[in-house]
Amino acid sequence: MAWRRPETQAPSIRSLLSVFRHSPRLAIAFTVAAAVALFFAVRLVIGIFGWDAPPNEEIRPWMTVGYIGRSWNVEPRDIDALAGLPLPEDRASEPRPYTLQEIADERGVPVEEIIAAVAAALEALRDRTPPEPPSPPAPPATP
């Protein structure tokens, strides 16, 4: 016996439950599909709003100074100034952020030397940054 929706009545929860009672395999398939869709929707939302550079990430040759600055919560131009690195706008050939590897190749030095200069700049900037003030105490709870 096939289920038919009455022509004069809007679909309701009862009619949906009726379909599930008459077709348990359909109910199981629908539930599994809804759960899988919900799982991927949650992952998508977390991926969109949760992406950020990990804090204080280890410096690697593929990173740009801007990426390092965002990861370490430091102004990238301060890193450039302290490490003696060129600003992206100062490059006549390509005004774009270069990776540390590209800067080392352009200078003809090992990338470890550039990484060491950036690490020293980060250490100096961290020492210069004043500590964050303590948060105010929470107000007392009212009965």
Q: What is the pLDDT of residue 26?
A: 87
Which residue stretches of the chain have pLDDT < 70? 1-11, 50-54, 89-93, 95, 129-143
The CB density around residue 124, as the number of other CB atoms within 10 Å, is 14
Q: What is the pLDDT of residue 128?
A: 76
The tens digit of pLDDT for each residue in 96-135 reads 788 999 999 988 999 999 999 999 999 998 877 555 555 6
| Dihedral sign from CA coordinates of 69, 130, 82, 101 | negative
Q: How far is CA 71 from CA 11, 84, 118, in A?
A: 52, 20, 13
Candidates 100, 121, 94; CA nearest to 112 is 100
Q: What is the pLDDT of residue 47?
A: 78
Q: Dig out the tokens for 132 from the structure.
A: 């964050």
Q: What is the pLDDT of residue 62?
A: 93
Global pTM value: 0.54
Domain residue spans in the chain? 15-50, 65-128
Q: What is the pLDDT of residue 111?
A: 94
Burial (Cβ within 10 Å: 0-12, 13-18, ≥19) of residue 77? middle
Q: What is the pLDDT of residue 120?
A: 93
Q: What is the pLDDT of residue 60?
A: 93
